[in-house]
């Protein structure tokens, strides 16, 4: 349960250089707004701000140049608009996502739906450190999940069917950006050590000979942007949205109970026993697969 705090202390209220003014950040799960909500935000910006709206790096909007005495009225109007004040401090901030399977031809998972489910469970939870969560539908990683405290990447393991003979057309070779496929003796051969499990080869085969055998979610922990960016550590892979939600809730609980304030999560993973936590999660999710940091490959393949 969140503490009842003053409007000035909400995470989405950011004091500007001129302390008489604030910028108000808006909650936007997966960066989605309806046209009616956009009209409402525009009206709020005109009435309480300087008639400008700023798009942020975390797929949301903020209304700049709001006077402190207007914050309560603005907050009520934003709430009524279905776009309440967001988060920016040491809490779980706006969950971001790429378009996912609803629009992107490269996506392997429904990122938008999953991001909204995560938002409904965890958005705004007070934490010892800021927690950013990002989802992408494939290893192209357009939303930079591995540069967030928690990242989710949709992947598939490609398998060539044995029942029908490969034509050796080379289409999958042409589209594979990892040079992980070669045509040998007229048949395509996959080098699993190079494969990042993006699934492009599955979509590129005109003869439907390459199948997505293993569709799954890679979860990473401890990434960061900023002046010293760092790639998050691969935690594990799971099979279902329910398992993703379970694991993310466990990560959040672990960080809430173990992490220290005043330091980025990426700086204290070893001190709060990342490996021990991973072992505990593996026991609770039997279907999960342990992965290494070398491209998130199953441990047995390395």
Q: What is the pLDDT of residues 255-299, one digit of tens each?
A: 999 999 999 999 999 999 999 999 999 999 988 999 865 455 655
What is the pLDDT at residue 293?
55
CA distance 48 to 64: 9
CA distance 223 to 119: 19
What is the pLDDT at residue 56?
96
What is the pLDDT at residue 300?
43
All domains of the chain in start order, with CATH = 7-80 (3.30.70.3340), 96-154+214-301 (3.30.413.10), 157-212 (3.30.70.20)
Average pLDDT, the chain: 92
4 pLDDT higher than 50: no
> Considering the entire predicted model, what is its pTM?
0.92
């Amino acid at each position: 349960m969140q503490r009842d705090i003053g409007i000035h202390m909400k995470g989405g209220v950011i004091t500007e250089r001129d302390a008489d003014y604030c910028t108000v950040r808006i909650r936007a799960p997966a960066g989605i707004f309806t046209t009616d909500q956009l009209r409402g935000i525009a009206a709020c910006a005109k009435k309480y701000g300087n008639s400008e709206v700023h798009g942020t790096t975390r797929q949301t909007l903020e209304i700049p140049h709001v006077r402190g005495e207007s914050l309560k009225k603005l907050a009520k109007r934003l709430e009524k608009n279905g776009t309440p004040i967001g988060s920016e401090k040491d809490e779980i901030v706006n969950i971001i996502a790429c378009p996912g399977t609803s629009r992107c031809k490269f996506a392997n998972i429904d990122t938008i739906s999953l991001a909204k489910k995560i938002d409904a469970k965890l958005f705004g939870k007070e934490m010892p450190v800021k927690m950013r969560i990002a989802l992408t539908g494939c290893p192209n990683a357009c939303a930079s999940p591995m540069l967030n405290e928690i990242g989710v990447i949709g992947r598939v393991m490609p398998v060539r069917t044995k029942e029908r003979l490969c034509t050796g057309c080379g289409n999958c070779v042409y589209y594979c950006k990892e040079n992980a496929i070669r045509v040998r003796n007229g048949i395509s051969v996959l080098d699993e050590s190079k494969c990042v499990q993006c699934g492009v080869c599955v979509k590129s085969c005109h003869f439907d000979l390459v199948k997505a055998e293993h569709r799954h979610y890679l979860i990473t922990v401890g990434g960061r942007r900023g002046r010293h960016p760092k790639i998050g550590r691969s935690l594990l892979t799971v099979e279902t949205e329910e398992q993703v939600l379970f694991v993310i809730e466990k990560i959040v609980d672990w960080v809430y109970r173990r992490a220290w304030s005043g330091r980025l999560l990426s700086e204290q993973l070893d001190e709060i026993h990342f490996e021990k936590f991973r072992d505990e999660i593996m026991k609770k999710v039997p279907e999960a697969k342990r992965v290494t940091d070398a491209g998130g490959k199953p441990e047995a393949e390395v």
